[in-house]
Each structure stands twice: as structure tokens, then as C-alpha cells.
A and B are shown apart, each in its own frame.
Chain A
């Protein structure tokens, strides 16, 4: 059970990294180079408020998830890890 969860989380992380690189025009960064716990905004990967709303759209399109409250979004969008966990928790009953 735990193995399955880890596998699923790893898949989500990989997919998220690919989506970010492709849709946020991240130059000189490959999906592999984004660390799971790297801070996405500000000093980390350098994302900004426009990227944040773009991620909202990516979550909606790719996982059917709605992030309405951007205050809560701040915690979810902290790193690939936190994002993946949010996606996992909110999609585990769907699939």
C-alpha cells in the first residue's frame, strides 16, 4: 500500500516537473534538474505570481483540481513535493 503511494507520488512529481518546464518557459532547466524539495517561488526556482496562476490552470487541466484560495495555494505551491502531495491527496479517490 505504502509502496503504491510512493510510486504514485513519484509519478506525479515527474509529471509536474515536466509540466512546469514546458508551460512556464523555464529556460536552461530540465525536469530532472528540479529538486523535489526546491522552493518554487522567489529565490528557489524563481517563479512569480504569474507562474502561480498558470500552475492553477495546469492543475485544473491535468488533474481536474481547482485551487480557489490562493492563500492556501501558497502552502501547496511551496515545492514539487508539496504540490505532488496535494495532487495525490485530492485525486486518490478519483482514479
Chain B
């Protein structure tokens, strides 16, 4: 299937142009937040600014939506706008697939606040209904006014990969003509605490995708990326996209470039070494948007931009202690195939393949 449009909401703004600008600009330091549990410890986080998700025109009809839903709705909206495709109102030709690792957990904790503060019988129905994982997908359908199949998938490492595989299936079997498929995850004070306990945090604010460390360090991020996918060619087609699980079978066909999702979120990253050992050029852009289980979606957006514009973006953090062939400068390049690779905490591997036909 083809990528016809892309929408991005991330720490440095909104829209595919902002994202491309950030890829050209390279690394900027994350904001630092004091842990509410230990104010003497500060944690680097790539938060999305409130003004980035303020858009009265798009969000006017969903006044109750929480940050999580707003990030997803704006990225999805922008993907459609970016494609230039006019969707049929009330149409069933658009499917929506939302991938998330943790869902709207900030709202879940707000609901737990209600239970603790007001008791079991006196909680807010509005907060409860927004803590349900499919609220964001429902809002996307509502804002776009489309009535096709709408689904939310939630896993840790591979939600976005599953979403891509399902989107391909839906298009192949004619269940819909277009699929809005994307990922969204948010950060929040409790998640800051969990990250500080579960992950090694990069003190210098730099995710180092090429350390291939057994205990890599992370900088938590948040945001959303959506792709408008379709089987046909459209004026703005970026590239082809397809998902693949590798089950440890290795990567049989070498691309022009690998993008590694190594961002410190899934523990041991030594598994990336296999692919790095080939002569293929390696890139990793997590330092632009932060460590996220759905970071694969951001990497696919970077890959799609590179294929469309025939350009390579320099890796934002270039610590290269293993001496791999990493992409060090931004320059025009002939690229036809990019594999985005992710390895989870039990060493399973999946890739999303981007191709220019």
C-alpha cells in the first residue's frame, strides 16, 4: 500500500513540514522535569507543548477530548490534509487503525484520583469514558465524519507493526479504500516515575541508537503520527509501506538504509548489531522525538520523507562507538528501500519496509 499523506504531532510542533525541519535541524535538548516523587531528580522528557495541540477549528466539536485524543486527532486530520484527498462525508471507505502502547493513561490516573477522592459511587463519567482506549479513534471518526471500520490496537513494542499489517489486509480485501493508520502515546507524571524506575535515563538528554548496549538509556517522549494509506497512486504518494515479522529469521534482502528503533525503551539492544554488521547505511532518529513504544511510526515518517525527497538526514546523535556505517550528513541520495527495524524486550524482531516503486 502507498503512503498518500502524513500527519505528525511531536515535541517540536505539528505537521510533516515541522517534522522535516526537525530532522534537518538535528538534536535539541529535551525539557527537564522534576520528578514529583523526588524533586531533586530531574528527568529529560520530550513533551508536546500545549499550544501544539490547540486548534480551535479542528477540535471545536470535541471540547471534552484529553491530550491523548487531541494528539491523535490532529495527526490524523493532518495526514488527510497532507494527502489532498477529499474524503466522502458519512462514507465507509475510510478505515481507522490506532496503535498505542499505553493508551490514555493520564486520564486513567485522573479517574483513579476520582475513585480515591470521591469514593466508588461519585466518580466522573466523562473522565471514565475518556480513559477507554478507543476514545481517540472514536474522536478521529467523529471529526472526519467517516463511518468505516475503526479499531484500536494496544501492545508494547509492535502495536504500530500490527496496525500496518492490518491496514494492508483491509485494503487488499477491499474492506476500505483508504486507511488512516497511526500511533499515539503520551507521557505523564506517573509515566515519568515508571520510566525513572524501569529504564536507564540518558542524563545528557541524548538517546544513543548506535551503542547497541545491553542496558541502553532512554529519553521519554510523546506524540502521534498518522499515515493515510491507499492502494492507488496519489499526487502526493511518498512511498510504499508494508509490515513484516521476522521471527529471528534475519533480514534476507538488504535495503539501502536501515532505521533502528533503538531508543532505550525495550532493554537489551545488542540484537541490532546483526543488521548493523552489514555494509548498509544505518540511521536512527529517536533523539528527535523521544523514546516511545510507538516510535516506529515516527521512523516510518522519516523514511517516507527521505524516499520522497531523495535525501538522507544526518543522525541527530552520532555516538558511534561500534563504528557502524551511520548516516552522518544530510545530503541528497538515491534511495529506494528503507527497512525500519524494531526489536522487543524478548528479542523478537519486526520491520516495516518502505519502498519507492
Contacts and interface: CB of A to CB of B under 8 A. Distances in A.
Complex A–B touching at CB under 8 A: yes
Contacts of B60: 27
B321 interface: no
Interface of A is mostly: helix
A24 B123 CA distance: 14
Nearest to B126: A54
A61 B64 contact: no
Interface residues of A, number: 12
Contact of A54 (B56, B63, B118, B124): B124
A57 B125 CA distance: 8
Contacts, number: 28
A61 B64 CA distance: 20
Interface string A25-54: 111000000000000000000000011011
Interface of B is mostly: loop
A27 B64 CA distance: 9
A90 interface: no
B197 interface: no
A54 B125 contact: yes
Interface residues of B, number: 11
B232 interface: no
A60 interface: yes
B129 interface: yes
B63 A27 contact: yes
B50 interface: no
Interface in B33-66: 56, 60, 63-64
Contact of A60 (B56, B122, B126): B122
Contacts of A23: 124, 126
A30 to B, nearest CB: 14
Contacts of B56: 27
Contact of B63 (A25, A53, A60, A61): A25
14 contacts: A23-B124, A23-B126, A24-B63, A25-B64, A26-B63, A27-B63, A50-B64, A50-B125, A50-B126, A51-B126, A54-B124, A54-B125, A57-B122, A57-B123
Interface of B: 56, 60, 63-64, 118, 122-126, 129
